[in-house]
Amino acid sequence: MARFGDGLALGPDLSSAAAQAVEQALAPLSAAPDLVCVFVTGDDPDQIEAAARAAQQAAGPALMLGCSASGVIGAGRGVEERGAVSAWAAVLPGARLDAFRLETLKGDDRIIVVGMPEAQDDDVVGVLLADPYSFPVDAFVERSDDALPGLPLVGGLAEGSGLGETGHGEARLFVGGEVYRDGAVGVVIGGAVAAATVVSQGARPIGPDMVVTRAEENVLYELAGVPALEKLEQIVLGLPEEEQELAGRGLLIGVAMDEYADEHEHGDFLVRGVVGADTDTGAIAIGDVVDVGRTVRFQVRDAGAAEEDLTALLERFDFEPVEGALLFSCNGRGQAMFPDSDHDAKVLDRAFGPAGVGGFFAAGEIGPVAGRNHVHGFTASILAFGRAEEAV
């Protein structure tokens, strides 16, 4: 018998699908589950709420966590643009599960987030699901390393009415038998748990590593002593025609997270977009603040780069055996990038074998890169669980 299981059910009756998906996830378990995660895609927020309640009833006394999404992942498959429910169940003996619901309060000159559990010495990982319209997820995650030192956060941004219009007030978040329409929910997992994270940013580097020699906030003026735009043009013009086309469709830049590494490989860069250029100053603007002296490298992304990056990271993933995993995959990585919605689920199946894997297609993914938590786009963020005796 297993400690992790997953399930997937499709159909217009989301409540029935939720009960079926949870039953499938519970079937292989060796004992009653401690944690059940449920993700729902549908075109009616009321039906999504009803599905969450049906899933909680099927899960029994287990802590249930989940959200609405544009697509779900379970049973080795990904499903988008159809009514569906995925479920993932875990038996975690010796674990401590601290569920939370985050809300925001307005201070005199700032927004205050309340509801996070008090940190414990044996905290292992936090799972965070957020509504991007009502919760300052970028700021919270970027500052989490100061407020929650050493605690990796993994998760994703919920979407509402995955088959129709999305927007403010449509997402649904589930935790502990309650359904919320805003804020964020999650669980901190501590105690005797073996867990590890992988974030695949789906990008391939082009050109050389370069040191930022002049910058201000998110504007890069010089790279390796050369005007940044001039340096970029040199690199792109030296690429094969196919990669020039990729760069033209959407150029990225990776910021090296470890300046002391002899070589920078997959997973060593925090990848952000190149969002603008100024021909008068020769500067380029990127989607993050970079200090002078940091090492950067331009990147491109396509289906081949995304598969190469995820496969390479999992090959380097020194954590065996994986018994279960949560997968938060970007909603741009499904059938919009690959031939079908199953791609990331199949890659994990090849890498992890018969592990229970569940998750959803997110509107933004949360996960650590080089020990710091970030919100990403076009990534696959993975939380993998092994045998409890491997916990350190």
- What pLDDT, in 10s, does the model give residues 136-159? 999 999 999 888 899 999 999 999
Judge if 196 and 218 occupy the same domain.
no
Give the tokens for residue 206.
């082009």
Considering the chain, what is the average pLDDT of its residues?
A: 91
Residue 14, amino acid: L
- What distance in Å separates the CA atoms of residue 386 and residue 392, rounded to the nearest whole number? 12
Domain of 95? 4-200+306-390
Number of domains in the chain: 2
Judge if 108 and 248 occupy the same domain.
no
pLDDT per residue over 158-191, tens digit each? 998 655 455 677 899 999 999 999 999 999 999 9
The last residue of a domain, from among 300, 317, 342: 300
Judge if 176 and 161 occupy the same domain.
yes
Out of 108-117, 179-188, 259-268, the most confident range is 179-188
Q: Please count the other Cβ atoms lying within 10 Å of the Cβ belonging to residue 321.
A: 12
Contact 236, 247 (CB under 8 A): yes
Please report the pLDDT score of residue 338 as a whole number: 93
38 vs 81, higher pLDDT:
38
Q: Please count the other Cβ atoms lying within 10 Å of the Cβ belonging to residue 232.
A: 23
- What distance in Å separates the CA atoms of residue 251 and residue 274, rounded to the nearest whole number? 6
The last residue of a domain, from among 256, 285, 300: 300
Judge if 35 and 180 occupy the same domain.
yes
The last residue of a domain, from among 276, 300, 324: 300
Query: What's the rounded mean pLDDT across residues 321-331?
Result: 96
How many degrees, rounded to 5, is the angle at CA 242 between CA 236 and CA 243? 40
